[in-house]
Structure 1
Amino acid sequence: MSIPSRVVLGWREWVVLPALGVPAVRAKVDSGARSSALHVDDQWRFSEGGAPWVGFRLTPAHAGEAIECAAPVVDERTVVDSGGHGTRRVFIRTTLRLAGLEREVDVNLTRRHGMAFPMLLGRTAMARAFTVDPSRSFLHGRAGPLPFAAAFPPTDPHRTHP
């Protein structure tokens, strides 16, 4: 039985979240973290067709302008950070594009102020597709000038938060 080849990632990479209209975000690739996390400036809950949804705003450092997104809530659970502190977080499922591959991943939304990377890519998002070379960085390119205005999703009409 042959082992499928895996794509090698550096310890930091640029990722795209196309379903959210996020053209590029810098991510720390962390095989020690189970789940993936995305920094959001603000988040609010609402209901769509009786199902729980979350709206959120993020500002990619190289974009300069905030992007508003909305997604169904797939889970809400306590996540323990590297310091041992547990916080309740909302999880969404979205498409991750990295190294020419696209896959559906679960991502929790949190405030990562003070962290060097707005996204943490955990091991469940990498499972069976990627391996990490911690001595390398940005093996799959760096973000350049991007057409951000075209990537902004429309503001959610059900939004209840200013």
Structure 2
Amino acid sequence: MEVKNLKIVGSEEWCAFNQLKIPAIRARIDSGAKTSSIQATEIKLIKKNDEDWVNFVVYPLQRNNNIKVLCSSKLIDKRSIKGSFGISEERLIIKEPVTIGEDTFDIELSLANRNTMEFKMLIGREALSNRYLINPAAKQLQKTYSKKESSAKYKSDSKKGIN
């Protein structure tokens, strides 16, 4: 088996979803989860040009409910996904480009209520496969932001009506 030069990520990394207007969200890296998921509330299915879309709200920063982002994405699937407590639930699936460090690529995301979880975002093994190796002892190897820096990314966007 040929091993190509893969980048290394820590147990948590900052990422961005530019099309969703989410410039910074800290994610837990979880090779035990197949599908990535993002915290989503106020989920509403809509029709747009005869296609199924979903509108939802993301509170992207941990322990900060003052910043919320209104998102819209094309629905690609509905799947039964087993959550962290072993209980399966049907979740809506979207596909969006994510940026981790300098790399941008498409990933599938399940929309989940992660309000009780420490991280608002979870990156699963499908997104990591053939891209990254995980160093569980390290954190934020690709990019790092302080609490002030991550909040400032949203304040600059508030003029655009995002918050």
TM-score range, shorter chain: 0.7 to 0.9
Moved over 3 A (4+): 150-154
Instruction: Tell me how far apart the structure 1 counterparts of residues 119 and 125 of structure 2 sit (CA, whole Å).
Output: 16
Structure 1: gaps of 5 or more residues: 155-162
* 106 and 152 in structure 1: CA distance in 2 versus 1, 3 angstrom threshold: farther
Tell me, yes or no, if structure 1 residue 75 matches structure 2 residue 86. no
TM-superposed deviation, 1:3: 2.8
1:99-110 alignment, distance < 5 Å: 99-110=101-112
Instruction: Tell me how far apart the structure 1 counterparts of residues 160 and 22 of structure 2 sit (CA, whole Å).
Output: 7
CA RMSD of aligned residues (A): 1.9
**Contact kept? 2:40, 2:114, Cα under 8 Å:** yes
TM-superposed deviation, 1:95: 0.5
What corresponds to 1:97 in structure 2?
A: 99
Q: For residue 69 of structure 1, give the secondary structure of its aligned residue in structure 2.
A: strand
TM-superposed deviation, 1:152: 5.5
Q: Give TM-score scaled by structure 1 length.
A: 0.88
> How many residues end up aligned between the 2 structures?
154
TM-superposed deviation, 1:149: 2.0
What corresponds to 1:21 in structure 2?
A: 21
* 82 and 65 in structure 1: CA distance in 2 versus 1, 3 angstrom threshold: closer
Instruction: Tell me how far apart the structure 2 counterparts of residues 68 and 26 of structure 1 sit (CA, whole Å).
Output: 18
Instruction: Tell me how far apart the structure 2 counterparts of residues 51 and 141 of structure 1 sit (CA, whole Å).
Output: 36
Tell me which protein shows more helix as a share of its residues.
2
1:11-160 alignment, distance < 5 Å: 11-61=11-61, 64-143=66-145, 144=149, 145-146=152-153, 147-149=156-158
Q: Give TM-score scaled by structure 2 length.
A: 0.87
| Cα offsets for 1:16-63 (capped at 9, x unmatched) | 011111000010000000000000122100001111100001122258
| Cα offsets for 1:63-87 (capped at 9, x unmatched) | 8321101011011010011321001
Instruction: Tell me how far apart the structure 2 counterparts of residues 65 and 117 of structure 1 sit (CA, whole Å).
Output: 15
Structure 2: gaps of 5 or more residues: none
Identity %: 23
**Contact kept? 1:21, 1:152, Cα under 8 Å:** no
1:77 maps to a residue whose letter is R
